Amino acid sequence: MTTFDVLVEVRLRPGIADPEGATVERALPALGFGGVRGVRMGKAIRFEVEAASAEEARRTAEELCRRLLTNPVIEDAVIEVSPPVRQAT
């Protein structure tokens, strides 16, 4: 088995209200960032998965997203599985 580092980005679906992102965006012109648009807040969740392959680690992460990490009515997720950095012996 190998330990894979997984990064899940949970994002609000398009059209879902994001008052936090809107507030940040509204603060930007005062700092001189007039050209920045489309600020959306999300969550980054990191964890490790023991799996036989990167594909299996991804499947585990997908299942975890489906059952707990996202609410599919309002959120979706982008999953990134990093190549293993250490091998279990």
Partner 1 sequence: MAARVGVVLFPGSNCEHDVVEAVEALGAEADIVWHAKSALPDVDAVVLPGGFAHGDYLRPGAVARFSPVMSAVGDFVADGGPVVGICNGFQVLTEAGLLPGALQKNSGLKFLCTMVSVRVETANSVLTSAAETGQVLRIPINHFEGNYTCPAETLAELRDQDRVVLRYVDNPNGSTDSIAGVCNEGRNVVGLMPHPERASDPLLGSEDGRVLLRSLLAHVPALR
Q: Which residues bind partner 1 (CB under 8 A)?
A: 12, 16-20, 22-23, 68-69, 71, 73-75
The smaller minimum CB distance to partner 1, of residues 69 and 81, is found at: 69
The smaller minimum CB distance to partner 1, of residues 51 and 69, is found at: 69
The Cα–Cα gap between 18 and 21 comes to 5
The Cα–Cα gap between 53 and 59 comes to 10
DSSP label at residue 74: T
Shortest distance in whole angstroms from residue 78 CB to partner 1: 17
Q: Which of 52, 59, 48 is nearest to 82 (CA)?
A: 48
Shortest distance in whole angstroms from residue 64 CB to partner 1: 12
